A and B are shown apart, each in its own frame.
Chain A
Amino acid sequence: MQFALMIYHTPEEFAMRTKDYDDPHLGAWRAYYKALVGARVYVGGEALEVPETGTTVRLREGKHRVQDGPYADTKEQLAGFIILEVPSVDAALEWAARCPGASIGAVEVRPLAPEAKRRGFTG
């Protein structure tokens, strides 16, 4: 079963990204990635740029509404995602608990929509 770990960061965590390569916080992320790959559960994933770089678009009454900034105005913002292939939600939650992002921000675990349904969406 595939699950998405959606990682939400606090502003403090986003700020840590500018630190040196040797910073322990970044080291924890690299180690986490290696553990995922080592356990052969890693399918894919990406980190997102800081939320201030986002732009939100809506179409209302035929008009574009373009808004500077992220979709939701909350303290914790989506910072990236990881797709895992694991046997059950229990295993996915275990990996979420090990995620360095879980100890400051939050990690949401959500199953990917089943294969057939996804094909329906994408044609």
Chain B
Amino acid sequence: MNGIKREDTHRTIERVARESYGRLVAYLSAHTHDVAAAEDAFGNALVSALASWPRDGVPENPEAWLLTAARHSLIDVIRHQRVVLESEPTLVLLKENVAEAPLLTEFPDERLKLLFVCAHPAIDPAMHTPLMLQTVLGLDAARIAQAFLIAPKTMGQRLFRAKTKIRSGGIPFEIPQERDLPERLEAVLEAIYAAFGIGWDDMDGADQRGRDLAEEAIWLARVLLQLMPGEAEIQGLLALMLHCEARRPARRAPDGRYVPLSAQDPKQWSLPLIEEAERHLAEAFKHGRAGRFQLEAAIQSAHAERARTGRIDWKAIAWFYEQLNRLAPTIGRRTGYAAALAEANGAEQGLAVLDAIDQDAVSNYQPYWAVRAHLLQLLSKGPEAQHAYDRAIGLAEDPALREFLIQKRG
């Protein structure tokens, strides 16, 4: 009996930890700007919970309990660093808070501020996503490192450096002013989408890491939308990720073979996810400001239409890519435009778009070579197609995709 109860308690702690992590770390660090100390304090509070909850039962408001314990721990930590004079006011503030409300049940949700801190322009853009995954979701450095293809120790050091910068670099814990908001919000959205992209690319790995990360990204976007309801680009991003997520079951044949989007069976797509995506996208479009994520979601929406109509409107997709390139041309968007244009108007036009891209910029970019190879093959340019296939195969990381391209190369 006792064993079962203890197991239940542990599961409760795990669940509360996951749900409360970002809220508590954000709240604790909003005053001190010391994210690392807030994380340590939260960790200590969890250790206390593991010791006392199985004995005394789960408190009525577990999150408030954790917050109180974390605060006490934070005060201890700051006391130890007393040499640092500037901590004094913080200490007083925290003490007052603890005295005033030993069982605070409601406290402001500061996660939005923390998200903006993580994606602040003063922080290395490469660290925006890892920081968010750690400080808002509580993922450990080793797991983040795996997803980012970086040695765990290196990731730990980089996260540490970034947090030091947050603490000492004068980065404000606040929601940016109206004037800066679009740009700053885009950085937050980019970071969330990067997490999803990694999860998406790596879903074929032997472990769960990719899939989990994609789910975490969707969860982050939902949190963000809850905090900033009605932001069109947040809804656009959420719609984009949900559309992709809906197709996850169709991306592999039962034997593990890679199935390209155009060959996927729409019956395997998740209808509820597609419907949810469409709902968000429709609401986003009402604002009449089609940003980057809404356009990308619109492209995915056009692909999803095949489930209903049995065909793909490539002209519409090409048009959406054109708009994206008008916002800011990237190799990815130009490659996407070339692929859509080729489907709409013939391979030659697509190839012309690819030819106009600077060769140095694409030497590492796998999708460019895959599209190029496909178009050259359609145009019966054998040797050139072979060369492009080789480049695409050599740049592929996913063994199933590599296999697929080798078959296509013939």
Contact = CB atoms under 8 A, between A and B. Distances in A.
Interface of A: 24, 27-28, 30-36, 38-40, 89-90, 93-94, 97-98, 100, 103
Contact of A34 (B154, B394, B402, B403): B394
A93 B149 contact: yes
B394 A36 contact: yes
B396 interface: yes
Closest 3 CB pairs of A and B: A35-B394, A31-B393, A31-B394
Contact of B393 (A28, A36, A40, A97): A28
A35 B391 contact: yes
Interface residues of B, number: 22
A87 to B, nearest CB: 11
The majority secondary structure among interface residues of chain A is: helix
Given A34-B394, A36-B394, A27 B406 contact: yes
B348 interface: no
B364 interface: yes
A22 to B, nearest CB: 10
A31 B154 contact: no
A35 B399 contact: no
Given A35-B394, A90-B149, 19 more contacts: A28-B394, A31-B390, A34-B390, A34-B391, A36-B394, A38-B363, A38-B394, A39-B363, A40-B363, A89-B151, A90-B150, A93-B150, A93-B151, A94-B149, A94-B364, A97-B149, A98-B394, A98-B396, A103-B399
Contacts of A24: 403, 406-407
B154 A35 contact: no
Contacts of A94: 149, 364
A90 B391 CA distance: 20
Nearest to B400: A103
B399 A30 contact: no
B402 to A, nearest CB: 6
Nearest to A32: B394
Given A30-B390, A31-B393, A100-B402, A39 B149 contact: no
B124 to A, nearest CB: 12
Contacts of B154: 89
Contacts of A27: 393, 406, 409
A98 B149 contact: no
Interface in B127-163: 149-151, 154
Contact of B391 (A38, A40, A93): A38
A80 B242 CA distance: 43
Contacts of A97: 149, 397
Contacts of B394: 28, 31-36, 38, 98
Nearest to B363: A39
B244 to A, nearest CB: 21
A79 B392 CA distance: 24
A35 B151 CA distance: 24
Nearest to B394: A35
Interface string B383-399: 00001011111111101
B149, B387, B394, B403: residue with the most chain A Cβ atoms closer than 10 Å: B394
A89 to B, nearest CB: 7
A39 B364 contact: yes
B149, B151, B395: residue with the most chain A Cβ atoms closer than 10 Å: B395
A28 B406 contact: yes
6 contacts: A31-B394, A35-B395, A36-B394, A39-B363, A89-B151, A98-B396
A28 B407 CA distance: 11
B128 to A, nearest CB: 15
Nearest to B387: A34
A33, A35, A40, A94: residue with the most chain B Cβ atoms closer than 10 Å: A35
Nearest to A28: B402
Nearest to A109: B151
B360 to A, nearest CB: 9
Nearest to B393: A31
A34 to B, nearest CB: 4
A57 to B, nearest CB: 33
B406 A98 contact: no
Contacts of A100: 399, 402
A24 B410 CA distance: 10
